[in-house]
Amino acid sequence: MLIAGAAAALPWRARARARTTLTVAAFPLVDAIVKAALPAWQQRHPDVAVQVVSRPYADHHTAMTTALSTSVYLPDVMTLEASYVGRYAQGRGLADLAQPPFDGLRLRPRFVPYAFEQAINRRNELLALPTDIGPGTLMYRTDLFAQAGLGEADLTPSWEAYVDAGIRLKAATGAYLVSNAQTVKDIVIRSGLKPGEGLYFDSESRVLVNSPRFVRAFELARKVRQHKLDARVAAWSNDWAEAFRRGTLATDLTGAWMVGQMANWVAPGTSGRWRVAQLPENTFVSYGGSYYALPRQAKPENRALAWELVQLLTLNRELQFAAFKSQDAFPALLETFDDPFFEQPLPFLGGQRARTLWRDAARRITATQVHKQANFADEVVGTELDNVLDRGKPIAAALADAARLLERRAFR
């Protein structure tokens, strides 16, 4: 009887072991969004488990880069921050979602245009689907600017006006305009880009650094430093957060998601003193965002289920709103944009209905081409700006040196 009983149990155990499990690799806070969506997934597929493997942001992307290059420990679904989609664009590690059986290009009308287009590489391959975006915004302290006799209209006409307002602000209140002069350079070099245009390289990998766009960015950043308008603190550092809490840092050039970060942990005590505006000169840019991709060499037997899970996470209006409300994950799904939730006032912003502002920005952001050497270019240009700010190097010489170095790497 014991033997018979054991034999009868074997088929059940075999079935338990054979249960399909999908692996999703994610970083915070996307990992929480995926986990929150699992009850909806289990209703569809009670026999398909989902394991979420979460790592800190940098560790996650390092692990994904290694997995794609070695085809070892590949998840079924990979979450990527927006810039990494571009970095992987010329490789062959991600499945082309434009091809059958995915036919992902049919989904184009359902997403914010720039977010969808940035996932398409030069080979017209669709490498991922967007889930959340980060429309750029200007956060500013109304109380500090009021002390200086300034308002939003003094900040937004141009980047020069923004810096000039900072000079008046510093004289009246002692507060810094921005955390670091590099921040001004980072946003100004993104101003005025045409759809599909690259930041550092054009479509033929020609270097764009020696151009009026970069000269202007360097000149404005130098003016910020010369007038001591930057606190010279690194974003996300303790000093950076403390400057917001104490009211010694009056603006932030950031993504819409930053309002939630400020309200929840960076500087909750400053609630009601902040407002947001479109970036100066009506500059419409993206500050990050998240995507879901399928590794090309992941388990083929799980591919159909993995694609179904990606569609659930990106196309389900209810789940998109749940992520928006719980994690400030601004949705990439256009079907959400008509919801009254966008009209609700935000207490941290003194009741401002800021989501309508960000919704307008999201519709007007243009897709930019991300080059495989963009990370390297960031470092090179940032180092040359440091040479200008800290060592007095002439701007023309700094940009010429940056261009020469980038030209050596452009086609690698």
* pLDDT tens, residue by residue, 213-267: 999 999 999 999 999 999 999 999 999 999 999 999 999 999 999 999 999 999 9
Contact 390, 163 (CB under 8 A): no
Q: Which residues pair with 137 in a beta bridge?
A: 254
Give the residue-averaged pLDDT of 133-157.
97
Domains located in the chain, CATH noted: 18-133+288-343 (3.40.190.10), 137-287+354-409 (3.40.190.10)
For residue 101, whether the previous peptide bond is cis, meaning omega lies within 30 degrees of 0, is: yes
CA dihedral 151, 264, 255, 330 (to 10 degrees): -120
| Sequential DSSP letters for 131-142 | EEEEEEEEEEEH
Over 60: is that where the pLDDT of 10 sits?
no
Query: Exposed/middle/buried for 172, CB within 10 Å: 0-12, 13-18, 19+?
Result: middle
pLDDT at residue 8, as a whole number: 39
Question: How confident is residue 371, by pLDDT bands cut at 50, 70 and 90?
Answer: confident
**pTM: predicted TM-score of the whole model, two decimal places:** 0.88
Nearest by Cα to 324 from 39, 132, 115, 137 = 132
What contacts 319, CB < 8 A, 6 or more positions away? 36, 37, 40, 312, 313
Q: Average pLDDT for residues 143-154, to the nearest whole number?
A: 97
Altogether, the residues listed in the chain come to a count of 412
Position 408 pLDDT exceeds 50: yes
Residues 6 or more apart whose Cβ sits within 8 Å of residue 82: 115, 118, 130, 133, 134, 286, 288, 289, 290, 291
Query: How far apart, in whole angstroms, are the C-alpha atoms of residue 266 and residue 285?
Result: 23
pLDDT of res. 2: 34
- pLDDT score, position 191: 85
pLDDT of residue 17: 45
DSSP 275: E
Task: Please give the pLDDT value at position 355.
Answer: 97
Mean pLDDT, to the nearest integer, of 281-301? 94
Query: Which pLDDT score is estimated for 1?
Result: 33
| Between residues 102 and 197, the one the model is more confident about | 102
Angstrom distance (rounded) from CA 371 to CA 284: 20
